[in-house]
Amino acid sequence: MDVTSITNSWFVVALVFIITVAAKVARSRTLPGAKKTIKTAPPSPPEAKGAPLVGVLPAVLSRGLQAVIREQHRELGSVFTLRSLGLAVTFLIGPESSDHFFHAAESEIAVDDVYKVTVPIFGRGVGYDVDLDTRNEQHRFFAKTLRPAKLRVHAHPMVHEVEEYFGKWGECGVVDMKHEVDHLLMLIASRCLLGKEVRENMFDEVSSLLHELIGGLQLISMFFPYLPTPAHRRRDRARARLEEIFSQIATARKSSGRVEEDMLQELMDSRYGDGRATTDAEVTGLLLALLFAGQHTSSTVTVWTALSLLTHPEHLRVAVAEQERLVEEHLEHNHHGSGDGAVVDYGVLQQMDFLHRCIKEAMRLHPVSQMILRRARRGFTVRAKDGGEYSVPAGRMLASPLVVNNLLPYVYKDPHIFNPDRFATGRMEDNAGAVAGAGAGDLAYLAFGAGKHACMGEGYAYQQIKVILSHLLRNFELKLESPFPEPENMLSMRPKGKVMVTYKRRKLFCNT
């Protein structure tokens, strides 16, 4: 089968799927009694013009999805629908229109349809394979695992990994930042998340199994997740082997009475409300879910933040000065500190306020995904920014496009400019409730989502990104050699291509 025929058959599969979804939605709109509701209900959201059947597809293919969403936002306002090939997606722009999307109960706004594709990867019995009550219990395990007291415990191992990794760099050289950060974050994850048994004895095997697992997530997996394709078979073998590995580690820990401080241990020790312990299969699935949620995202944000700082010398200088000040202050209290590890701990990481704002600002401009998706289980009325009201039907796909929501000019001054000071105390532009009188609360800054499904790993993510970037700022002079990249494509917002950076060790600080 050549490439064209593979592409064609995927296209047919996609078309069949879209038509099936469209037919379901059409049926749900003609349910008995629906007519009566429509009479009194506000109108449907305005729709973008497009050719019959293909709708906005030609515009998306020629100008890109982001550009089309922006154009339609300008033309149609903050609530509008894009259609293509029978699929309709209603976009909700700005804090004023997003409350129901982010805060409604699961019975109103569904998230599981969107994430069902993860079931064969994480495995049965966890995440989107289980009922809502069980999933809520598992989220409670995550919350416990990621609480501040645990982050404090992870600070030292993170710093240790980072020091060891960059200690192997030479006096000067050139590296692909994307590759370096990916590898380093995997080392951190294997120590803090997967356990020191993996970090010390099985790093290469587990890394390659995870690679196979991710490789099993393809376009066709959306429609036929269990089709026995070679990639799906490799995914299933990798998932089974990972479960075997974590079961062996859990058994060894239990039989020796050894207790570690990593997330594996937390999940092994977690109990459901009825007292039931987590099974090895569940522990494996939950670990994989955390890994998937946190690795690619943290790596993408670390690289975009580095890129943003390296192309804004005025902010880079402030970031370096902050590190310099913290090292001096801390060394005054810590005379035995000869290496970075002795200097940087949880408390010091919390004081890296400017670096924190740089990361936050980089995520605003370069969110890890273009949009967050949901499906309306029930019809609802949404109010647009101009006060107009619209009826959104049950079954409709909904989108909150971060690439537009994070750049609203009435929330963010000069929204396309990288300016970490917009989040400084006293300014805090993301507090859009105050800015726009919108009562926006948590809805103006969406890089970590918001409401019911807001990111549970935000603190962990900031911590590991700060550990990496602060070490680089203290110990190296860096220069970007590649041009500032575009995002990879419509689905992945990672920087495109290699991000080549030259480094030279600094002599600024007494620590190496």
CB closer to ligand HEM out of 187 and 290: 290
Taking the complex as a whole, the smallest distance from the CB of residue 154 to ligand HEM amounts, in Å, to: 10
Which two structure tokens, joined as six digits, stand for 291? Answer: 């890994």
DSSP 8-state code for residue 44: P
CB closer to ligand HEM out of 103 and 139: 139
Is residue 164 a contact partner of residue 467, using CB atoms and an 8 Å limit?
no
Residue whose beta carbon is closest to ligand HEM: 457
CB closer to ligand HEM out of 220 and 293: 293
CB closer to ligand HEM out of 418 and 448: 448
483: helix, coil or strand?
coil
CB closer to ligand HEM out of 158 and 301: 301
In angstroms, rounded to a whole number, what is the distance separating the alpha carbons of residues 88 and 58?
15
CB closer to ligand HEM out of 142 and 390: 142
Q: How do beta strands 172-176 and 500-505 pair?
A: antiparallel
Taking the complex as a whole, the smallest distance from the CB of residue 425 to ligand HEM amounts, in Å, to: 22
Please, what is the Cα angle at 511 between 354 and 330, to 5 degrees?
55
Residue 455 known to bind ligand: yes
CB closer to ligand HEM out of 405 and 419: 405
Taking the complex as a whole, the smallest distance from the CB of residue 226 to ligand HEM amounts, in Å, to: 24
Is residue 286 a contact partner of residue 457, using CB atoms and an 8 Å limit?
no
Residues present in the chain in total: 512
CB closer to ligand HEM out of 78 and 300: 300
Strand partners for 414: none
Give Dmax over CA atoms of the chain in angstroms.
Answer: 77
Is residue 75 a contact partner of residue 112, using CB atoms and an 8 Å limit?
no
Could you tell me which residues come within 8 angstroms of residue 243 by beta carbon, excluding any fewer than 6 positions away? Answer: 123, 280, 281, 284
DSSP 8-state code for residue 334: -
Taking the complex as a whole, the smallest distance from the CB of residue 380 to ligand HEM amounts, in Å, to: 18
Taking the complex as a whole, the smallest distance from the CB of residue 349 to ligand HEM amounts, in Å, to: 15
Taking the complex as a whole, the smallest distance from the CB of residue 448 to ligand HEM amounts, in Å, to: 5
Q: What is the 3-state secondary structure (H, E, C) of 176-203?
A: EHHHHHHHHHHHHHHHHHHCHHHHHHHH
Provide the H-helix boundaries in 257-345. 263-268, 280-310, 313-333, 340-343
The contact set with ligand HEM (CB under 6 A) reads 111, 139, 142, 146, 290, 293-294, 297-298, 301, 363, 368, 372, 447-449, 453, 455-457, 460-461
Q: What are the DSSP E strand ranges found in 31-84?
A: 79-84
Taking the complex as a whole, the smallest distance from the CB of residue 463 to ligand HEM amounts, in Å, to: 9
Q: How do beta strands 397-401 and 389-392 pair?
A: unpaired
Angle between helices 280-310 and 313-333 (to 10 degrees): 120
Provide the H-helix boundaries in 311-398. 313-333, 340-343, 346-350, 353-365
Taking the complex as a whole, the smallest distance from the CB of residue 224 to ligand HEM amounts, in Å, to: 23
Closest C-alpha to 91, from 71, 73, 66: 73
Taking the complex as a whole, the smallest distance from the CB of residue 456 to ligand HEM amounts, in Å, to: 4
CB closer to ligand HEM out of 232 and 366: 366
Q: Is 52 exposed, middle or buried (0-12, 13-18, 19+ CB in 10 A)?
A: exposed
Could you tell me which residues come within 8 angstroms of residue 175 by beta carbon, excluding any fewer than 6 positions away? Answer: 169, 500, 501, 503
- List binding-site positions for heme: 455
